[in-house]
Chains A and B, each alone.
Chain A
Amino acid sequence: MSLLQVNNLSVWFYTRNGVVKAVNDLSFSVNVGQTLAIVGESGSGKSVCCYSLLGLIPCPPGRIESGTADFDGQDLLSLPIKQLRQIRGQHIATIFQDPMTCLNPYLSIGEQLIEPLIYHKNCSRHEARDRAIALLEEVGIQQARGRFNNYPHQFSGGMRQRVMIAMALIAEPRLLIADEPTTALDVTIQAQILELIAEIQRKRNLAMIFISHDLAVVKDIADHIAVMKDGEIVETGPTKSIFDAPQHHYTRELLAAIPSGSKPESSTVSNTVTSNPPLIEIEHLNTWFGGKNAIVKAVDDISLSVERGKILGVVGESGSGKSTLGRSILQLVRPSSGEIRYDNIELTTLKPRALKTLRRRMQMIFQDPYASLNPRMSVFDTLAEPLLYHGLATRKTVTPQVLELMDDVGLAHSAIKKYPHEFSGGQRQRIAIGRAIAVKPEFIVADEPVSALDVTIQKQILELIENLVEKHQLTMLFISHDLSVVRYLCDRIVVMHKGRLVEQGDTETIWANPQDAYTQQLLSAIPSLQDQQPRSRHHETGDSGNRSSE
């Protein structure tokens, strides 16, 4: 029986630059006890369609153009706001993406938890408090009674998301909308939260809409999947058939874009046989921050080496010190102690002048393509600056050289006079890569270069990096939290945890046989397209109680 039936929903935004059809003629339904996953890349309208059901779209510029949304006999889209408020939080609850910003920092979590009960169910505060504490315990907050009056900043990201889940459940809703609930979390926490959401959905027989950009994440949790692109559903069907027999070419593209499997052999044929001499050798490197009483050991006694012409992956979760390691090597952060030898030159004791000539040989690609480009410099200025400054070009020859660089990174020549804000994220990352290779470096530190990008774009940028590494015989330190990406690209990996190096080795060796407990945990947390059964199997087993004890 369908609890929510959406028909022909269209939401348009009237912006300065014209009308954006964020959601166009969308129809879908959600059944009691089932999970519908809406999957799409950023800007596909997947969040807009759900928020418009609850009247949470800012109007203007947004406007609901057409459609009906039948929820239990009522049309959500034509309900007066007063009645819609009765449904929000009481019958339809939402879990948002970023638990850091979605909880009110000025109110205690207890106060925020009991609000739906007080305003929807006329509970007394005392009664509400007891139910809230019971629920907090159910979602895995220990000593919930004592933490009831704590503020959001006193919880970690994963714990906040648990609070958020409790808040959504407190008024016993019938439909749960989860908007990328694990995207902001580390991979090991993501696995725990996904499991919790799945368990709660089953136990309470909820209808759920699970919004995600990541097909791998929804694979285990969804009964049905709707794939969205540019405001429209391009394909919808049971989870199994979407994965096994995708019909639409975009679905296939999405599936193909998920990095899976090992590094293609072709690119490493020459390298795998013999090991090359190391370009970089690091011994007992320490980079510590902070003063006397609060030292953060971001990089804690790390020794490793990077072979010439190879890609070394550095894997770790947020706060593991992997970025600091990369920046320490490039001397963007001064290490506290230890040795870094680049081509047998000791970097840590180098004079600024000598360092300057070395800088040309090692470059960096950054994570955030929105912050890594100077907003006041055009593509030409950005790419010409390193060429001219290092004397690799003259005023006369610089234009053709810039154009050549743009060819290298796949940018159209017509874009040469444009500014960063006029590009999409993927194009910006191409510009940033162009700037890094402009000075013809031998070594590049790539710090999460694809983690801010959509999957299909991510695939393109990864391919670009792969090609450039091969073409220019680059050596690379590739930093990422995403093990699938690292496996796809890197020859060797090192795993970092809390500033320490816990394991290193050939990618496939570690993949097949991780030694360290943390590495094992990390690997088992990856949502993967292979190796696991689709979710419908779990569903048939019925009783959910034993799953949590598995």
Chain B
Amino acid sequence: MGRFILNRLLQAIPVLLVVITVTFFLVRLAPGGPFSAEKAVPPEVLKALEIKYQLDQPVIMQYFSYLGDLLQGDFGPSFKYPGRSVSELIFSGLPTTAELGIYALLISMLLGTAAGVVAALKPNSAQDYIPMSTAMIGICLPSFLLGPVLMLIFGIGLEWVPVSGWGNIPGDKILPALTLASGYTAYVARLSRGGMLEVMSQDYIRTARAKGLPEWVVVLKHGLRGGIIPVVAFAGPAFAGLLSGSFVVETIFQIPGLGRFYVQAAFNRDYTVIMGTTVFFATLIIVFNLLSDIAVAWLNPKLRGRQQGSIQSGANE
């Protein structure tokens, strides 16, 4: 297991490097420099700015000095917000987005798994059709549609909950979290249903039943362990999806989080901020993929047992 984690960590390094490199050169490929949009900058000021931000040096030198700064957690200065660093900007929006993301992740994993397991216990019955049809709606009603619709009904129509903001009025976190979670809840429900159906048809489930175990033990102890593996494997990609989903949800509900900030930076063409945020997001996603891979491996005794070395052969055979 230890070797497995180390292996995966080593594999993540080139991926991260690819992300940083691609992002860096993509931004450099962009037409025009960061200051060309601003009208009428005198040549000598421009020159000074370029020296200040080291833009006068060869691109390859800039690349390495950027890498060096990154290693120290420094994403460089913002071009549009003079005097503020990209790191500062990222960490000002991060807590809000993290909170939203965690709520959504929890809702989707718990609710989705529960719905999927319930559906899988009685396939092709009402107990299956009702949660799965709901899940289908969740998949076919994207967040940018569901969010406004929920807002129209519960915020503007019924006035049950506030329609915008984050943490100002009680209850204003409900709609954004639900909106963000909906699609993933639905997907998790389908995944866990599929996983459970697969597992519950295995021979070892019949063995467990033949031992006379209560049905809940059969399902939760013998079934769920294997059945949730697809869900755990999906947790990493789901996190990446939630992150990009937060762009939309934060825009709709006007939440001052990192996602909304990223979209605004994109429109402002604040290249250092875009690059810094992209690298930051990419790192997060890679880390979460790694964690979910490790969790999947941990659930599988064949991989978990690696470190103590497996005893393969029988004694008298």
Contacts and interface: CB of A to CB of B under 8 A. Distances in A.
Q: Do chains A and B touch in the complex (CB under 8 A)?
A: yes
B317 interface: yes
Contact of A104 (B204, B310, B311, B314): B204
A56 B213 contact: no
A188 B317 CA distance: 9
Interface in A119-159: 119-120, 140-143, 147, 150-151, 153-156, 158-159
B207 A119 contact: no
B314 A105 contact: no
A88 B317 contact: no
Interface string B168-182: 000000000000000
A164 B211 CA distance: 11
Contact of B214 (A107, A119, A164, A167): A119
Contacts of B209: 56, 88
Contacts of A150: 311
A154 B312 contact: yes
Interface string B186-220: 00000000000000001110111111111001000
Contacts of B299: 106
A413 to B, nearest CB: 39
A120 B314 contact: no
A158 B213 CA distance: 25
B210 A93 contact: yes
Contacts of B226: 105-106
Given A102-B204, A142-B316, A154-B311, A88 B211 contact: yes
Interface residues of B, number: 30
Interface string A72-99: 0000000000000111111001101010
A101 B314 contact: no
A115 interface: yes
A499 interface: no
A70 to B, nearest CB: 19
Interface string B296-317: 0001111001000011111111
B208 A104 contact: yes
A151 B316 contact: no
Given A119-B212, A147-B311, A153-B310, A104 B207 contact: yes
B206 A56 contact: yes
Interface in B266-317: 299-302, 305, 310-317
B80 interface: no
A116 B204 contact: no
Contacts of B28: none
A103 interface: yes
Q: Which of A103, A142, A156 has the most CB of B within 10 A?
A: A156
B314 A159 contact: yes
A189 interface: yes
Given A56-B206, A101-B203, A151-B305, A85 B214 contact: yes
Interface string A307-333: 000000000000000000000000000
B8 interface: no
Contacts of A106: 222, 225-226, 299-301
B315 A107 contact: no
A302 interface: no
Nearest to B313: A156
Contact of B210 (A94, A120, A147): A94
Interface residues of A, number: 42
B5 to A, nearest CB: 19
A393 interface: no
A541 B10 CA distance: 67
A71 to B, nearest CB: 13
Nearest to B315: A142
Contacts of B211: 88-89, 93, 115-116, 119, 167
Contacts of A403: none
Contacts of A90: 212
Contact of A96 (B206, B221, B305): B206
B301 A105 contact: yes
A151 B301 contact: yes
Given A154-B312, A189-B317, A104 B222 contact: yes
A502 interface: no
A155 B314 contact: yes
B121 to A, nearest CB: 13
Given A56-B209, A142-B315, A158-B317, A105 B214 contact: no
The interface centre, meaning the residue of A98, A106, A159 with most chain B CB atoms within 10 A of its CB, is A106
Residue from A102, A150, A155 with most neighbouring chain B CB atoms (10 Å): A102
A164 B210 CA distance: 12
A86 B213 CA distance: 8
A216 interface: no
B49 to A, nearest CB: 56
A354 to B, nearest CB: 43
Nearest to B201: A58
A158 B314 contact: yes
A88 B210 contact: yes
A54 interface: yes
A327 B238 CA distance: 45
A462 to B, nearest CB: 30
Given A151-B302, A156-B312, A105 B204 contact: yes
B212 A120 contact: yes
Nearest to A104: B204
A120 B311 CA distance: 32
A234 to B, nearest CB: 28
B3 to A, nearest CB: 14
A154 B315 contact: no
Q: Which of B210, B312, B315 has the most CB of A within 10 A?
A: B210
B212 A85 contact: yes
Nearest to B224: A106
Interface of A: 54, 56, 85-90, 93-94, 96, 98, 101-108, 115-116, 119-120, 140-143, 147, 150-151, 153-156, 158-159, 164, 167, 188-189, 192
7 contacts: A85-B213, A88-B209, A88-B212, A104-B204, A104-B225, A119-B212, A164-B207
6 tightest A-B CB contacts, nearest first: A88-B212, A89-B212, A89-B211, A159-B314, A151-B301, A106-B225
